[in-house]
Amino acid sequence: MLVYEGKAKRLYETEDEHVLLVEYKDSATAFNGVKKAEIDGKGQLNNEITSLIFQWLDQKGVKSHFIRKVSEREQLVKRVTILPVEVVLRNVVAGSMAKRLGLEEGTPLLSPIVEFYYKNDDLGDPIITEDHALLLEIASEEDLQFLREQALIVNQALQQLFSDIGVRLIDFKLEFGRDEQGSILLADEISPDTCRLWDKETNQKLDKDVFRRDLGNLTDVYQEILKRLRGEISHV
Ligand code: C5P
């Protein structure tokens, strides 16, 4: 039974009440759903890329909701209740941070910056402080500290992974969920939809900005990321 349909994924119940099936759709959306397109093959690419990254993170000690990939566009995940907060980590100025603070895109940050956004479509997912997150009862102080630490750990692991395949990890967004025992697990996806990835040599954008900014063919650059990741993570 379908339990949730988002912009890029559908979630179905399985025979096991603790496990959901995620189906990755071919839809691409940007600017809170204002720009939309169907892109053949995108779902399959994101399912493959996310699966590889979650398996790789697991080996680095980062636990997530991911169980296993079961078909070209489907994976099994642990059922969690998603926290209504997006955690963004930035290594280099880009996107909304460049706009908000009037900084030049591409400026490296001395140390990574963590931001929290309130997941609320009606409000356009506003950036929030930790005090706002407490006020909105999104998470406790301890949980927010945990989210920040997890984001930094994921960043270290992913920076290494992407650096080895000739890619700069500019920024990325994480989501987390709570399982029945109350533990917080990394959830959702990690893919070129949710990261900014620039080629180390050429600075070519290998992520969803290609779609957001009409810079070329999205599946070509996602395919390039998958090809490089497969070369690096051939054992999983
Ligand atoms: O747009 P902004 O610069 O805030 O995005 C920061 C990072 O978070 C980018 O890698 C972007 O792809 C990701 N993001 C996302 N989903 C959102 C907002 C941002 O995956 N709703």
Q: What are phi and psi of 235, to 5 degrees?
A: -85, -10
Res. 14 pLDDT band, cuts 50 70 90: very high
CA of 172 to the centre of ligand 1 (A): 6
Res. 233 pLDDT band, cuts 50 70 90: confident
What's the mean per-residue pLDDT of the chain?
A: 97
How open is the CA angle 142-117-28, to the nearest 5 degrees? 130
Q: Look up the CATH number of the domain holding residue 209.
A: 3.30.470.20
* End position of a domain, from candidates 37, 63, 78: 78
Count of other CB atoms within 10 angstroms of residue 62: 18
Nearest ligand 1 atom, CA 196: 10
Enter the ipTM. 0.99
Res. 104 pLDDT band, cuts 50 70 90: very high
* End position of a domain, from candidates 78, 98, 122: 78
CA of 78 to the centre of ligand 1 (A): 24
**Whether 202 and 95 share a structural domain:** yes
Res. 93 pLDDT band, cuts 50 70 90: very high
The pLDDT of residue 38: 97
Q: Look up the CATH number of the domain holding residue 74.
A: 3.30.200.20
* Residue nearest ligand 1's atom 18 by CA: 173
* Residue nearest ligand 1's atom 7 by CA: 172
* Number of domains the chain contains: 2
**Local structure of residue 203 (DSSP, 8 states):** -
**Whether 22 and 85 share a structural domain:** no
Check if 95 has its Cβ closer than 6 Å to any atom of ligand 1.
yes
Q: Classify residue 47: in a domain, yes or no.
A: yes
**Local structure of residue 23 (DSSP, 8 states):** E
Nearest ligand 1 atom, CA 207: 12
* End position of a domain, from candidates 37, 54, 78: 78
Which tens digits make up the pLDDT trace of 137-190? Answer: 999 999 999 999 999 999 999 999 999 999 999 999 999 999 999 999 999 999
How open is the CA angle 231-234-236, to the nearest 5 degrees? 145
User: Maximum distance among all alpha carbons in the chain?
Assistant: 51
Nearest ligand 1 atom, CA 170: 10
Q: 147 by DSSP, 3-state: which?
A: helix
Res. 234 pLDDT band, cuts 50 70 90: confident
DSSP 223-234: HHHHHHHHHHST
Q: 214 by DSSP, 3-state: which?
A: coil
Identify the H or E element spanning 14.
Answer: none
What are 105-113's contacts with CB under 8 Å, separation 24+?
106/203, 112/152, 112/155, 113/89
CA of 87 to the centre of ligand 1 (A): 9
> What is the rounded end-to-end Cα distance, in angstroms, of the chain?
30
The pLDDT of residue 91: 98
Domain range for 21: 2-78
Contact 218, 193 (CB under 8 A): no
pLDDT exceeds cutoff 60 at 236: no
Q: Classify residue 227: in a domain, yes or no.
A: no
The pLDDT of residue 190: 98
Check if 194 has its Cβ closer than 6 Å to any atom of ligand 1.
yes
Which of 35, 171, 191 to mutate for ligand 1's pocket (most ligand atoms within 8 Å of CB)?
A: 171
Which tens digits make up the pLDDT trace of 34-47? Answer: 999 999 999 999 99
- In the chain, what percentage of residues exceed pLDDT 90? 97
Q: Classify residue 160: in a domain, yes or no.
A: yes
